[in-house]
Amino acid sequence: MQNHRRVVVTGIGAITPLGLDMESTWDALINGESGVAPITRFDPNLLPVHVACEVKNFDPTNFIDPREVRRTDLFEQYALAATRQAVQQANFTITPDIADDVGVVVGSSIGGFHTMLAQYDVLREQGPRRINPFAIPMIMSNGAAGMIAIELGARGPSYSPASACATSNDSLGQAFEIIRRGAAIAMIAGGADATVSALGMAGFDRLGALSHNNELPSTSPKPFDKNRDGVVMGEGACVMVLEELEFALRRGANILAEIAGFGQTTDAFHVIAPAEGGAGAAKAIRRAMESANVRPEDIDYINAHGTATPLNDIAETQAVKAVLGDHAYHVPISSTKSMTGHMMGATGALEAAVCIYAIQHGVIPPTRNLVEPDPQCDLDYVPGEARKHRVNVAMNNSFGFGGHNSVLIFKRYDG
């Protein structure tokens, strides 16, 4: 363990239902604001679910050459925008002498869903010669990672995880491990998704995953509440600049936090339901803590996966108790999905960014809409209002369909 390189975060970019950068998103989270609203992107009357957490007022031409907009799917536009913010905050430029040692791990759970649906309509109505010639690069899940690498000139390791709700937590974790073992000096990492579409919403609803609270949209989702009824679909992107510590110090980078540990497991139980007792999640938490060399009592904050589905919230509660023991009842935990909705392949990275901001600002965002706690979810889920709390070590949980469990540990960087 002593020979592993240390990895730090120096830049964060975010496009979310609460704001078009990380600062505005953080302010909204701390104030307990809801991103849930009636769907505007398509006619929701086709569906029993009429609300979602859409990204609002996003103009891709503010971030991308207008000529490139037609060649990129919405998820790629979100990813490119978040990347530009992250590298700007990090004051990071990939020069030719380091290009081979900088990589990109930016994932997407579904890829270019909007393009796929739109181009199928074109094929059916106008024929194959009218298909956008860039349709395939717009659809493929690794499209964002490839475009980011091209734009920045990153020639190191590059690929795109697709592990459902755990996607971008896995992206950060894999990038962390690449730097930690010495295969790169810096990585661009995160995730993006644009899944608010008629087919996407219909599909998730058929799984029984979505909230049907159309009448009072801002009162859902309800993580850990006994009246929770499911996910509210979200979208967006979050991307970070990760650097090997000595490289970051040499170039005078401002260090936001240190990534200290990463743990992954697979339930091998059910394609959409968590393993009984949260067993797989508990193993991932243990592995992350072992990787970070931290004890249960060291954990100061947990950003929960907290989807507001009946099974997930109980399983996560059980997993945290199984690993943290008595300390589970003393550590504040919150689900920011209660405000952003479920941003799918972007959600893990955004919630990792929340952990970093909690470390920096000494404030924990609340779990909105938690009014009547489920007796089986009996931990401190920070209901209603943000809380001042010094955070030195934070944990981020992401658990995805397919049984993918991903946990990151962040530490305050004090040199």
Question: 127 — alpha (psi -120 to 50), left (phi > 0) or beta?
Answer: left
Rounded to two decimals, the pTM is 0.97
Which CATH architecture describes the domain 7-250? 3-Layer(aba) Sandwich (3.40)
- Residue pointed to by tokens 């998820």: 75
Whether the ω angle into residue 221 lies within 30 degrees of 0, i.e. cis, is yes
Give me the pLDDT at residue 1, please.
41
CATH 3.40.47.10 residue spans of the chain:
7-250, 261-411
Q: Name the CATH topology of 261-411.
A: Peroxisomal Thiolase; Chain A, domain 1 (3.40.47)
Give me the pLDDT at residue 385, please.
98
Question: Which residue positions in the chain have pLDDT lower than 50?
Answer: 1
Give me the pLDDT at residue 342, please.
98
Written as six digits, the tokens of 344 are 């799918």
User: Among residues 18, 21, 20, 38, which one has the least CA distance to residue 30?
Assistant: 18
Give me the pLDDT at residue 210, please.
98
- Residue pointed to by tokens 């991932």: 284
25, 230, 356 from 252: Cα distances, Å = 27, 45, 19
Give me the pLDDT at residue 220, please.
98
| Residues that are catalytic | 165, 305, 342
Contact 300, 389 (CB under 8 A): yes
Query: Which of the 8 DSSP states describes residue 21?
Result: S
Contact 87, 63 (CB under 8 A): no
Structure-derived torsion over alpha carbons of residues 318, 322, 323, 326, reported in degrees to the nearest 10: 100
Q: Which residue stretches of 31-166 are H helix?
A: 66-69, 74-90, 113-126, 135-139, 143-152
Written as six digits, the tokens of 198 are 């008629």
186, 201, 352, 399 from 274: Cα distances, Å = 34, 21, 21, 8
